[in-house]
Amino acid sequence: MGAVVTGLTGRLRAWRPTPPPLPDHLEPILRDGDPEWFVRELAIAAAPPWWVWLLLLRRFSWLVDLFGRVEVTGSVPEELRRGPLLLAANHVGDFDPFVVAVALHRLGVVPRIMATGGIMSAPVAGPLLERAGGIRVERGTQLARHAVRVTEVALVHGGHVVAYPEGRVGLAPDGWPERGRTGMARLALGVRVPVLPVSQWGAQEVLQYGNDWGKLRTLARSLVRRPVLRVHVGPPVFMEDLEVGRVGDANRARMRIAAAITRGLVPLRAASRPLHPDPTRPTTGAAAFPGGVVPPDIP
């Protein structure tokens, strides 16, 4: 019996959906030493959205609503939906990628979500997320640049990529977005695609920050309490006056993105309960705009 269980476990760990073939024009991107997953992600980034992912978004988004009431405001104009998009979201907790995916689909967007290497390496869930267009981010390693290359391919082929400028779950004591890093800003300036701010609040109540049994407790509690999971999509961030490579422009773009997300978050938090206490969540970060106050001189 033990051997059977071990065999099944091994098969689950090894299982992954078949990716599409890599287009010939992407072959020159590959280099000796590139990881195997990079080849798969390039092929997926260049392909149309996976039909299974579309089916899940259309038919099973109600599963997210079991844990909270998803409320979506804002819009994505049709002319923007027809082309590539970078969607910059604040990161409030481990559950928010599901909330953001459902909210964006309701606005006509098929999201490809950037996720940490740990999630992408998980059995079953990782391969499914990869095949759905998820982009692996190996933070703090030399492999992190691969995420930029995959994202560029996805955008060139008209993809809608969701990225978290903070690079992690935000850890500011007051819960406002951190300024993040310049990587997404540089990418946006280099590829020249619209950047839409996605502000969200409430998903932090569904799953606690710490990875212990408390996650199951908060998940079960959400089934009863069903917190409001608010998502707002704002207008494109103004960056037409900025240039890639010009000194200071990447930082200006980063601050404009953080400002746009913060502005959109203000009404969401005003309509919500006070910040939900989570003793497992560190408070070592610093908000880009403490208290949600954005100076008027930032476009």
With helix as H, strand as E and coil as C, how does 200-251 read?
A: EECHHHCCCCCCCCHHHHHHHHHHHHCCEEEEEECCCCCCCCCCCCCCCHHH
Residue 215 in any domain: the answer is: yes
How far is it, in rounded angstroms, from Cα 65 to Cα 102? 9
Residue 223 in any domain: the answer is: yes
Residue 263 in any domain: the answer is: yes
How far is it, in rounded angstroms, from Cα 87 to Cα 187? 12
Residue 145 in any domain: the answer is: no
Nearest 5°: CA angle at 257, between 252 and 260? 125
Residue 73 in any domain: the answer is: yes
User: Quick one: pLDDT at residue 10?
Assistant: 55
Residue 120 in any domain: the answer is: no
Residues 17, 131: contact at Cβ < 8 Å? yes
User: Quick one: pLDDT at residue 274?
Assistant: 83
Q: What is the DSSP code (8-state) at residue 289?
A: S
User: Quick one: pLDDT at residue 5?
Assistant: 45
Tell me how many domains the chain contains: 1
User: Quick one: pLDDT at residue 33?
Assistant: 87
Nearest 5°: CA angle at 223, between 220 and 226? 130
Q: For each of the chain's 299 residues, which pLDDT tens digit applies? A: 555 445 545 565 567 899 999 999 999 989 888 899 999 999 999 999 999 999 999 999 999 999 999 999 999 999 999 999 999 999 999 999 999 999 999 999 999 999 887 788 888 888 999 999 999 988 777 777 889 899 999 999 999 999 999 988 999 999 999 998 888 888 889 999 999 999 999 999 999 999 889 999 999 999 999 999 999 999 999 999 999 889 999 999 999 999 999 999 999 999 998 888 899 999 999 999 999 999 998 88
Residue 184 in any domain: the answer is: yes
Residues 64, 153: contact at Cβ < 8 Å? no
Q: CA quadruple 97, 103, 106, 107: dihedral positive or negative? A: negative
pTM of the model: 0.92
**Residue 238 sits in which domain range?**
48-110+159-289
Which of 51, 61, 191, 199 minimizes the C-alpha distance to 133? 51
Residue 222 in any domain: the answer is: yes
| Rounded alpha-carbon distances, angstroms, from residue 155 to 34, 83, 90 | 21, 8, 20
